[in-house]
Structure formats: C-alpha cells, structure tokens
Structure 1
Amino acid sequence: MASVTTIKTIENITGDTMVIINGEDSNIGTVIERNRYWHGSLRVPWIGDQSESWKALRIFVLGGYRDIIWVFQDYYRPPGENAIKYCVGEFSYKNAQEIQGNNRGGGDKIFRLSAIHGQVIHSIKLEMI
C-alpha cells in the first residue's frame, strides 16, 4: 500500500531564489527566497513511469543554476517503499536517484536544498520533522 509523503517545510539554503511548480496541482508555483523557509503542506506526487512526468514537482533555481530539478514519489521502485526520487535536467523515470536522507515510507518531511561553494548541489536531502 502506498504511503503519502507531505513536505511540511522547505529550507532554501542557497544564495538564490527558487520556484517550485506542482505539476499535479494545476502547475501552482511557490516562490522561496534565498536563505528562507516555507511552511505549509505540499504532497509529493506519485509517478509510476516516464509518461507521468507532468505530475512531478519541478524546481527552478533563479540565478546561475540552469537545470530543472524534478522530484517525485516512486510508486513502484523499490516495491512498497514509496521512495522520493529526483533527476536533474531532463526528466528520466528510469535514471532518477533516491534523495539522500529519510526519503522512504511516507509521512511528513522537511525538504532541504543547499549549496556548496555557490553551486546548487545535485544531492538533495529530505529529513523527517
């Protein structure tokens, strides 16, 4: 049985403003200024194959970082784990990687996007509240 993952806090620990677009929710966007936090309730969309990319959360970092970061909850892989995954640039269900940290099992999470040496890192970390 699939477990819902809800992001309750987003920490933008970068020097750039970011915009998160929720594809599953009418492409509604949330702007988070640099070095700020957002608090609310954002359900991570389930995706089961490449054709469902439109549902994913899309993260745009305004500034020098040009790639889109795609975030979604994998419905099938690994089975029964509800892993949160991401990919950078083009969406690829097959090549998506699990986000570091406590990314499985559903529940309320904190989503942290951080930067090292002024560059947004491809390693995104989710932690339990």
Structure 2
Amino acid sequence: MASVTYLRSIANNTPYTLTLIDGENRSHSLAIGAQDVWNGSLAIPWIGKAEENYKAMRLILGPAAKTSIWIFQDYWEPAHKDAIKFLSASSMDYTSLDIEEVAGDNRYGGNKNLIVSLVNRQFELYMA
C-alpha cells in the first residue's frame, strides 16, 4: 500500500518570496517570504500518469517569478518507494526526462520538511 507524504514545514532559504499553489485545490495557495518558514500540514499529491499533471504542487520563485518547480509523489517510479520528485519547467509533464527525485529523505511517506535553497544561481530542494 502506498504511503502519503505530508509537508510539515517549508523553509525558504532564498532571497525571493516562494509561492506554492496546490494543483488539486488551486484556491489553496500560500506565500513564504525570503528566509522564512511555513509550518502546517500539506499532502503532496500522487501522480501516476500524464493525465494527472494538474495535481502537482507548483512552487513559483525568482525575480519576476520566472522559475516554476513542480512537486509530486510518484506512484509508479520506483514502485513501492513513494518517491517525491520535482520538475523545473514552465509546465508540468509527468513524462519529462528532466524529472528528478528530491534530495534527502524523500521516500516512504510520512511527515517531511522541505528546504528550498539558491546555490550558484540554481534552486535546490532538499527533504528532511
């Protein structure tokens, strides 16, 4: 049985405001200021096929909000691991070859903390 991952905190360690939009409920969004932390409970959505792209959480970052990072829990790849993955792109595409697993403790569900940092002008995600 698959396990759900809940974000309990999001640390925005960047000089930009981070806006998160919940793909399954677009009226649910939050903004986290530069060098600030959000605490709460937010389930990361499952995606298992391209028709479910709309479910992904969208993180909007950077000057003039030019960067979007899509976060989701992969139902199939790898099977039974419940991996949290992301894609940096203008739109979500489950079939993209650029999708990566979030670094850190990103598997097997449960309560997690997401850390967003800016390193060498690249946004990096880490899950603890």
- 2:102 maps to 99
* SS of structure 2 residue aligned to 1:124: strand
Match of 1:77 in 2: 77
Aligned equivalents of 2:44, 2:73: Cα separation in 1: 6
Q: TM-score, normalised by structure 1?
A: 0.91
Deviation at 1:120, TM superposition (A): 3.9
| Matched residues, number | 125
Deviations 1:5-39 (A, max 9, x none): 00000000000001000011244111000000000
TM-score where L is the length of structure 2: 0.91
Structure 2 unaligned segments of length 5 or more: list them.
Answer: none
CA contact (8 A) 2:59 2:70 kept: yes
Q: Secondary structure at the match of 2:63?
A: coil
CA distance in 1, matches of 2:11, 2:21: 16
Tell me how large the CA RMSD over aligned residues is. Answer: 1.4
Instruction: Report matched runs for 1:2-17 at 5 Å.
Output: 2-17=2-17
Match of 1:45 in 2: 45
Contact 2:6 2:44 in 1 (8 A): yes
Is the Cα–Cα contact under 8 Å of residues 45 and 73 in structure 1 kept in the other structure?
yes
Secondary structure at the counterpart of residue 92 of structure 1: coil
Amino acid at match of 1:76: W
The answer on whether the counterparts of 1:65 and 1:120 sit within 8 Å (CA) in structure 2 is no
The alpha-carbon deviation at position 65 of structure 1 amounts to: 5.5
- After superposing on structure 2, the runs of 4+ consecutive aligned residues of structure 1 that deviate more than 2 Å are none
